[in-house]
């Protein structure tokens, strides 16, 4: 599932390609991506509109339409959704919904049909967006804010960090990597953290997300390739999917445990 860095990287890649362009046609090959809206309803709302801004909220990618009051296109990728850009308007591979612009075509694809694309009057109309917690790269995400969130929970740290209603955008990969950077065990209870530990965790969350965005953009992915990936992310990983390998910090072997039906990777030597 794309997490905050992957979605933010897409925002930065697509913004110069999309902003100012008008949607000339809408192709819907698999209407399930639009549910509960219909293809007819969706087309009527977005056809002829201009893309005024490309932004993000948590793991949601948002296209603000113009003129004022024209609404938004919101996308959530879930496990396997992705966006593609075809400068020559020629679609390749599996495509669910495509927007033909003046200079190229933007396409959304999700072979498993788990993600969704919606037209919204405003982003908070989508319940998932409305319930999102603080943005971890915003100025409002302070050490004090994190401390308050931790003190009002008794959950293990890893599942807590993945709760979108508390901190928006963190998923399995970056939660595990942030905990490794902070030297905190993923099963540690949230309300047990004290002073310096909260500060370390705050620094680790912000740092790993910022580094993640950099890694997603270098090398820049080829968005016209149906199999495109962000290979640079491998340079970031210290524990995720490295079970049995040596910890980059202390050398102990990385372990994998299950938390909430998800795999968690950590170092038993330096995460306490």
Of the residues 12, 155, 200, 262, which is catalytic? Answer: 262
Half-sphere exposure of 191 (CA within 13 A, CB side): 5
Q: Where do we find the tokens 């897409």?
A: 10
Q: Is the dihedral of CA 35, 64, 171, 216 positive or negative?
A: positive
Q: Where do we find the tokens 């299950």?
A: 258
Task: Indicate if 262 belongs to the active site.
Answer: yes
Q: Are the C-beta atoms of residues 259 and 179 closer than 8 Å to each other?
A: no
Of the residues 59, 116, 166, 242, which is catalytic? Answer: 59
Q: How does DSSP assign 93-142, residue by residue?
A: S--SEEEEETTEEEEEE-TT--SEEEEESSGGGSHHHHT--B-TTSTT--
Quick one: which of 48, 79, 50 has its CA closest to 63?
Answer: 50
Task: Indicate if 68 belongs to the active site.
Answer: no
| Structure tokens given for 210 | 């910022």
Query: Cβ-count burial of 42 within 10 angstroms (0-12 exposed, 13-18 middle, 19+ buried)?
Result: buried
Which residues have a Cβ under 8 Å from the Cβ of 94 and sit 6 or more positions away? 109, 111, 226
Task: Indicate if 2 belongs to the active site.
Answer: yes
User: Any idea which residues carry the catalytic annotation?
Assistant: 2-3, 59, 262
């Amino acid at each position: 599932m794309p997490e905050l860095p992957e979605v933010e990287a897409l925002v930065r890649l697509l913004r110069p390609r999309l902003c100012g362009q008008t949607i000339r046609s809408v192709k819907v090959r698999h209407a399930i991506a639009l549910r509960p809206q219909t293809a007819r309803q969706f087309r009527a709302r977005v056809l002829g509109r201009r893309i005024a801004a490309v932004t993000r909220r948590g793991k949601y990618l948002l296209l603000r339409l113009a003129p004022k009051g024209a609404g938004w296109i919101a996308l959530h990728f879930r496990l396997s959704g992705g966006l593609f850009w075809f400068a020559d308007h020629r679609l390749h591979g599996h495509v669910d919904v495509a927007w033909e612009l003046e200079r190229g075509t933007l396409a959304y694809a999700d072979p498993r049909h788990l993600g969704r694309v919606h037209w919204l009057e405003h982003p908070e109309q989508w319940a998932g967006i409305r319930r999102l917690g603080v943005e971890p790269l915003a100025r409002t995400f302070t050490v004090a804010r994190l401390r308050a969130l931790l003190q009002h929970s008794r959950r293990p740290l890893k599942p807590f960090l993945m709760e979108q209603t508390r901190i928006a955008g963190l998923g399995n990969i970056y939660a595990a990597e942030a905990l490794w950077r902070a030297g905190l065990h993923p099963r540690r209870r949230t309300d047990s953290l004290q002073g310096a530990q909260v500060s370390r965790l705050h620094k680790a969350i912000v740092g790993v997300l910022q580094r993640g965005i950099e890694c997603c953009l270098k090398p820049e992915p080829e968005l016209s390739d149906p199999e495109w990936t962000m290979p640079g992310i491998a340079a970031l990983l210290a524990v995720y999917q490295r079970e049995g390998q040596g910890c980059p910090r202390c050398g102990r072997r990385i372990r994998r445990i299950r938390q909430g039906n998800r795999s968690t990777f950590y170092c038993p030597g330096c995460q306490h």
